[in-house]
Structure formats: structure tokens, C-alpha cells
């Protein structure tokens, strides 16, 4: 029996995939072959929404992600100015306690902390690539994803945008 790949999601990839790209059905299918977890703090951040989506669909969030509580890894606090309010610290804490999980974080700082501690990390683009590989996204889906990600206020480096173009066949 093959083990399911496990991912623990931060807020921005969750917002991009669920709200901006409207991939809830595809993420539900993805969850059949992967374990998708989100710390309670990330669910709280998601539920608040943002300027573009002030009323996110928390019910869909709870269908896609297993919401988990995990103790805060206090060793991470100095990296976050002793402020435990960001979702990233909770995602990384969860992954440190469950090393078989890969963090899904887009922000460079959070990714750097993962790299410092030897934690596997990917981001929105990596999840899109996995979903494409699993044949959960067709070419129309990929075009919409590409356009919506590029139009969103989330910053992606030139390299990540180039990777997105390659994945989407542009």
C-alpha cells in the first residue's frame, strides 16, 4: 500500500487555490489521494478573508482540509519576533511535529525558515503542478489559474511565474 503524500497549508496558498482560482472540487479530489491539513490558526486567518474576498467560504475550507490543533513550537518564536499570530509559524510548528508533512507556504520568509530547519516546503505553484500531474486540472483550468494568480495581489517571483507558465503550457 502506498502512503498518501501529506501537506500542511498556510493561508495564502489556501486563499489562492480556494477563493481566487475556485478549485474546491479539484482540491477535494486531490484530498482523496493526499492528506491536506491546516492548522486552526490558518483556518481563522482564512475565515477573516481579505480585501478581494471579504467573505470566504469556511464550509468549503472545512471540507477540503482537516483542521488540526498542534502545540506551538516555541523554538520558532525568535524567527517570528516572538509573535505567534501568523499562520506560517503554526504550519511550520505542525510540520516539525509531523515530519512526514510538506509545508505549503508561498512567502519567502516562511520558506527560508523551513529550509533552515530541513522541512520540506512547496507553494501554490507546487500544488498546481501536483494537481496537473494527477490529471485533476485540464488546460482550461490551467489557463484560468494562470490568469487569476497573475491578477491577484499575491506576489510571486519571476522564477515562480516562469514555473507557472511552464506548468500551464504558456
Where do the domains of the chain lie?
6-167
17: closest CA among 129, 102, 92?
A: 129
Judge whether 9 and 64 are in contact, CB under 8 Å.
no
Return averaged pLDDT per consecutive 10 residues of the chain, 170 residues in all.
Answer: 83 88 92 94 86 76 92 96 95 97 94 96 94 92 89 79 86
Which cell numbers hold the place of 143?
Answer: 489557463
Q: Please work out, in degrees rounded to the nearest 5, the angle formed at the alpha carbon of residue 26 by the alpha carbons of 155 and 145.
A: 35
The pLDDT assigned to 53 comes to: 65
pLDDT digits (tens, 9 = 90+) for 90-131: 999 999 999 999 999 999 999 999 999 999 999 999 999 999
Residue 149 pLDDT? 86
Task: Report the C-alpha gap between 55 and 37 in whole angstroms.
Answer: 21
User: What confidence score (pLDDT) does residue 168 get?
Assistant: 87
Domain 6-167 maps to which CATH number in 3.40.50.1010, 2.102.10.10, 3.30.1490.20, 3.40.1640.10? 3.40.50.1010
Please give the model's pTM, rounded to 2 decimal places. 0.92
Amino acid at each position: 500500500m502506498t502512503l498518501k503524500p501529506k501537506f500542511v497549508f498556510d493561508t495564502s496558498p489556501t486563499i489562492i487555490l480556494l477563493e481566487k482560482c475556485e478549485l474546491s472540487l479539484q482540491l477535494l479530489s486531490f484530498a482523496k489521494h493526499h492528506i491536506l491539513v491546516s492548522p486552526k490558526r490558518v483556518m481563522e486567518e482564512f475565515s477573516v478573508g481579505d480585501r478581494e474576498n471579504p467573505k470566504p467560504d469556511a464550509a468549503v475550507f472545512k471540507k477540503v482540509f482537516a483542521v488540526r490543533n498542534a502545540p506551538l513550537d516555541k523554538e520558532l518564536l525568535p524567527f517570528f519576533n516572538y509573535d505567534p499570530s501568523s499562520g506560517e509559524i503554526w504550519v511550520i510548528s505542525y510540520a516539525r511535529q509531523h515530519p512526514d508533512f510538506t509545508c505549503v507556504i508561498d512567502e519567502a520568509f516562511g520558506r527560508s525558515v523551513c529550509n533552515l530547519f530541513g522541512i520540506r516546503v512547496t507553494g501554490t505553484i507546487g500544488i498546481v503542478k501536483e494537481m496537473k500531474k494527477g490529471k485533476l486540472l485540464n488546460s482550461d483550468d490551467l489557463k484560468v489559474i494562470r490568469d487569476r494568480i497573475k491578477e491577484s495581489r499575491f506576489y510571486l517571483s519571476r522564477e515562480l511565474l516562469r514555473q507557472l507558465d511552464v506548468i500551464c503550457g504558456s
